[in-house]
Amino acid sequence: MPTPRHHGGAPLIHIPLNVPAFNGLNRQASSSLLGVEWATRLEETVIDENGRIASRKGWELLTTTTPATEAFVRMTEYRTRAGARELIATSATKVWKSTNNGDTWSDVTGTATFTDGNWQFFNFNDKLVGLQKGKKPIVYSGTTFAHVADVNAPEGGVGVAAYGRLWVMDSDGTTLRYSALLDETDWTSSDSGNLDLFNTWPGADQCVALAAFNSAIFAFGKENIVVFTDGSGSVLGLDPLNAYVVDNFAGVGCIARDSIKQVDGDLWFLSSTGLQSLGRLITEKSNPLQNLSVNVQDYLRDVVAAATDIEAVFSPQDRFYLLSCKTGGTSGTTFVFDTRGPLEDMSARCAGVWLTQVPRAMCIKEDNSFLFSIPSETGKIGRYRGQTSPAGPWVMRYESGWLDFDSGGHLKFLKRFGGVFFMDRTAQVNFVWAWDFEDNFVGQSVNFATAGGTTSGWGESEWGSAEWAGGTALRDARVPGYSSGEYLKIGITATIDNTKFAIQQAELFAKIGRLA
C-alpha cells in the first residue's frame, strides 16, 4: 500500500455510488478496473424489485412430522383437472406425498423400486409420471406408484410430456421413443414409435435432456441440439408420424438434465460453456460462447465441474433462475440469475451466489410459492420466506471492482466511507476497503438497532433514518476512512439475523493528491 503523501488543502470530494452493482456480479474482469455498476463479490444476495443488491430470504420450516429418514432429492406438485394438489418428494429409496403443503408426509412408493432419488417428473393426463435411468417409468394417480408394465417401455431416464404423449429416451441415449396418444403405459402399439438420433447428431453424442418448445421437440446432447417438428401446425402441436429434423445446433448442448427451465417464454439450460437461452440460439444462431452467464463463466465452470448434483428452478414471483450445485454433504454453491431483463450484451445479471443455503428438491407450486429442502434438515421442506434459517444468521457480502474515479492517476486519500441501507431490524454493517490490487482490507463497523430506535457505532460514525410503514427504514451511516492509494476497492457486509437488508447507495469522501 502506498505511503500517504502530503495533500495540502485539497478539497474534500463527495463520490456517490448510487445503487452499486446494479449490473450484478462480474468475476471475469475481477482483476481489472470496473465501473460501480459491477461487483466482484456477491454472497447470499439477490437483486430486489428496485434493482438493489439485497440479502436473500431464508428458509421457513413447513414440516412438523418427519417420517423420512433420508434427505429429499427431488420434489414436484401433482395436479389434476379436478383440482387435487399434492406434493410428491423422493428420497434415496422411497417416494413421499403431502396433502397439507409439506406439514406431514406419507409413503407412496408402492411397487416402485430404485436406489436413487434423482427422478424427473411430469404431470400427464391426470397422472404423475417419473423417469429414472435404468428404470421403467413409474406412474401415480393418487394412491401409490407402480412401474409401467409394458416390457418395451424406455429406460433412458430423460423425457418430456408434450403434444398428448410422453417422449422418452431409451437406454442407448440415441433412440427417442414416444408413447401412444394419452397413454403412458403403451409403448408397443402402432400408435407409439421412435425417432432415431444416431445419424442426426452432427457428431457422436448422447441425449441428456428433452424439451418441448414452439411446437417442436428439442433433443439436447452434451454438445449438440437436434430439433424435430412436423411442419404442419397440427392441433396437437407435433404429429410423430410426420416428424422430421428441422434444425440442429452444433457445439452447444446441455450437461445437466434438471437445469432446463421455462423462463418467461424462453428455455434456459446449462451447457459446457455456461448458461444458455434457447430462444436466443434459435433467433440469432449465436456463438454458444456468448451465453447468459458470460460475466461469471469461469467461476460457474469450476463450480459445475465439482458438483455431484445440479438442479435449477425458475421463480416467477422472485424473478430469478436458481442453479443449485451441490458438492456433497451440506456444501455447495447456488448461482442466482435475475430474469427481469438482459444486460446490454444480452447476458443475464448474476445476482450473486448462495454458499450457506444450498436448496435441493426445489419446487414452484401453482400459487408460485417456492418450496425446497436443505441438506441439513432431513425429511423436511420449507418455504423461501423471511430472514431466518436453521443454521442461524448469515453474512451478506458485496465487493466492488477496482475503482479509479477518472482521477488521472492521482492518489486518493479516503476520509470517510458511508452508505444508505434499506432495513427493518438490527444489523451489524461492516465497511471495508483495499488499495492498489492488494486485497488487504481494512475497515470499521456500525451497529444498527431496530428501525426507529437508537443506533450505536464505533469510531466517529454518523447516522440517521427515514421510516416507512411496517418498521422498515432507510438508514445511513458513515465511518472515518484512512490510508491512500491510486485504485480503490470497497466492500460492505451485513450480518442477517431476521432483518431485511438492501444497499441503496454507497458514498465516499476523499481528497485527491498529486500523481502516484
pLDDT tens digits, 259-305: 999 999 999 999 999 999 999 888 877 666 679 999 999 999 999 99
Report the pLDDT value the prediction gives residue 273, as an integer from 0 to 100.
92
280 sits in which H/E element: helix 278-284
pLDDT tens digits, 78-122: 999 999 999 999 999 999 999 999 999 999 999 999 989 999 999
- Residues with Cβ < 8 Å from 367, sequence gap 6 or more? none
Contact between residue 360 and residue 354 where contact means Cβ atoms under 8 Å apart:
no
The domains located in the chain, with CATH, are 13-57+396-515 (2.60.120)
In the chain, pLDDT over 90 holds for what percent of residues? 76
Exposed e or buried b per residue across 409-419, where buried means at least 16 C-beta atoms within 10 angstroms of its C-beta? ebbbbbebbbb
Task: Please check the confidence at residue 332 and state whether its pLDDT lies above 70.
Answer: yes
Contact between residue 93 and residue 112 where contact means Cβ atoms under 8 Å apart:
no
Residue 126 pairs in a beta bridge with none
Concatenate the DSSP letters of all residues of 127-186 into one string.
EEEEEETTEEEEEESSS--EE---TT----S-EEEETTEEEEE-TTSSEEEEPBTTBTT-
Mean pLDDT computed over every residue of the chain: 90
User: β-pairing, 360-364 with 462-467?
Assistant: unpaired
Report the pLDDT value the prediction gives residue 366, as an integer from 0 to 100.
96
Question: Which cell is 1 given?
Answer: 500500500
What is the mean pLDDT of the segment spanning 295-316? Answer: 97
Contact between residue 58 and residue 438 where contact means Cβ atoms under 8 Å apart:
no
What is the mean pLDDT of the segment spanning 399-427? Answer: 87
Report the pLDDT value the prediction gives residue 65, as an integer from 0 to 100.
87
pLDDT tens digits, 416-460: 999 999 998 888 999 999 999 998 999 999 988 754 433 333 333
- Residues with Cβ < 8 Å from 188, sequence gap 6 or more? 150, 152
Report the pLDDT value the prediction gives residue 91, as an integer from 0 to 100.
95
In the chain, pLDDT over 70 holds for what percent of residues? 91
Task: Please check the confidence at residue 469 and state whether its pLDDT lies above 80.
Answer: no
User: Which has more pLDDT, 406 or 245?
Assistant: 245
